[in-house]
Amino acid sequence: MNIHDPQHAQLAAGLASARSAELFDKACKLIPGGVNSTARATWAGWDPYPLFVQGGQGAHLTDVDGNRYIDYLLGLGPMIFGHRPPRVTQAVVDFIQTRGTVFALPTQDEARLAEKIVAAVPSVEQVRLCNTGTEAVLYATRLARAFTGRSKIVRFEGMYHGFSDGVYWSKHPALDRAGPDDHPRAVPQGPGLPHGIEDNLIILPWNDADLLADTLKRHGHEIAAVLTEPVMCNTGCILPQPGYLEAMRELTQAHGVVLIFDEVITGFRLGLAGAQGRFGIKPDLSVFAKGIGGGFPVAAMGGRAELMALVATGKVSMAGTYCANGIAIAAANAALDELNTAGLYQQLDTVSDALRHGLSRVLGDAGLPASVVGLGPLMQVWFAREPIHNYRDAERHADQVLFRRWWQGMLARGVLFHPGAYENLFVSTAHTPADVQATLAAAKEVASELARSA
């Protein structure tokens, strides 16, 4: 029996997906796991096979079986304008057709983009462009070590900062391997990470300012940087407790530790100044990626000129053949122009808030143990009876089985988001009030079904 045969296994009852199943079987013969990123794999929740996409337009996506969805997956976040945004798409096409792609020499467009980023984010005085968030985090931690002369990095359980060996630890560790709550042990994401790297990592639970203060008091002289998302977006959506980011900023300054904000997800999504703008915090270094390119691959790392001076002199190397390539620069310049449109973020928040509050109401009316946590166009549904403030809370209290049933019910009704509770729902500027109403109508049906079978 072929386990991917839709006669024997379906993503969701009533969803036509035979073609996706067939294509996945073929892909598995050539591509390990049948996909090119872990987040699309069966073990990430796309079980027994992922949907294969035909195309997307605006806030909607169509799969190869002809199913059409309201898309809240949005490529895991980059599609802040939805699919195929005309202005960004045309800018890339024009650049390729009239100028080229990769020159290994600078263009004036790079400085124009840097000027826009510096103008948008108050903490960024200078910026270098990269290709991915992984690259940008790697460079930020290297720069922090070079600047401070220290080796250790503080990172938090449940966060993902890319897949480089230096930080690919304690993303979602098994709690029986992760040590006590107040003194977590560094757990590699998987085999193949060199032994000894963990000696340069201090793993902490998020949202515990007292523990961070104690750690910096005891080890501050060894710590180069505190690396954090300002909103935890890689264990669902977990907001900072009131005063936590402020305490983090004060503590790192007091101990001469570089504060790095990983805004790969939140940057240019929660506002032109990202989450740091929303919360009024100025980190020393910031990393951006998904929101900056309007769906094209581009990233950036920037911050205080005093730190970036080490890059200016070549003391700290930031290299890459494809860094600031023509496609990335054209896309990011057009995207930032679009994001500077008056009222854009206010409208995006209005639509997003209607979805978040509407889902909260629907789930509450059904009597389900659920909450919808988020900020602006970033959110997740937690099925839990206890509040979730960090990764261990999520592991102990989140009902992953109920979330799976929620996802299947919504998918069958034409609403797409990631099947994993540790991912997020994203809203784009292309989503309309009508999309939200259709989503809430589907949610009401699914919530009623879940409540009846509880």
Answer whether 18-84+343-452 and 86-339 agree in fold.
no
* pLDDT of 150 higher than 90: yes
Q: Please give the Cα distance from 26 to 48 (Å, whole number).
A: 14
pLDDT score recorded for residue 454: 73
* Environment class of 328 (CB within 10 Å of its CB; exposed 0-12, middle 13-18, buried 19+): buried
pLDDT score recorded for residue 74: 98
Which residue out of 208, 262, 284, 393 is catalytically annotated? Answer: 262
pLDDT score recorded for residue 7: 47
pLDDT score recorded for residue 10: 81
Q: What are the DSSP calls for 397-424, one per residue? A: H--HHHHHHHHHHHHHTTEE--S-TTS-
Average pLDDT over residues 277-306: 97
Residues β-bridged to residue 259: 226
Q: Please give the Cα distance from 12 to 401 (Å, whole number).
A: 14
Looking up tokens 């978040």 gives 356
Q: Please give the Cα distance from 250 to 243 (Å, whole number).
A: 11
As its CATH architecture, domain 86-339 has: 3-Layer(aba) Sandwich (3.40)
Instruction: Calculate the alpha carbon distances from 101 to 47, 94, 171, 338, 362 in Å.
Output: 38, 11, 35, 22, 48
Whether pTM exceeds 0.75: yes
Which residue out of 49, 160, 244, 422 is catalytically annotated? Answer: 160
Helix (H) or strand (E) holding 95: helix 86-98
> Which sequence spans correspond to the domains of the chain?
18-84+343-452, 86-339
Average pLDDT over residues 364-383: 98
- Segment 15-33, tens digit of pLDDT: 999 999 999 999 999 999 9
Average pLDDT of the chain? Answer: 96
| The pair of three-digit structure tokens given for residue 183, joined into one six-digit string | 């003194």
pLDDT band at 122 (very low <50, low <70, confident <90, very high): very high
290 carries an active-site annotation: yes
160 carries an active-site annotation: yes
Cβ contact 333:109 at 8 Å: yes
- Segment 441-453, tens digit of pLDDT: 999 999 999 999 8
Which fold would CATH assign to domain 18-84+343-452? Aspartate Aminotransferase, domain 1 (3.90.1150)
Which residue out of 65, 290, 393, 422 is catalytically annotated? Answer: 290
* pLDDT of 244 higher than 50: yes
Cβ contact 266:275 at 8 Å: yes
* pLDDT of 6 higher than 80: no
Among 11-15, 282-286, 297-301, the range scoring the smallest mean pLDDT is 11-15
Looking up tokens 């954090």 gives 228
* pLDDT of 164 higher than 50: yes
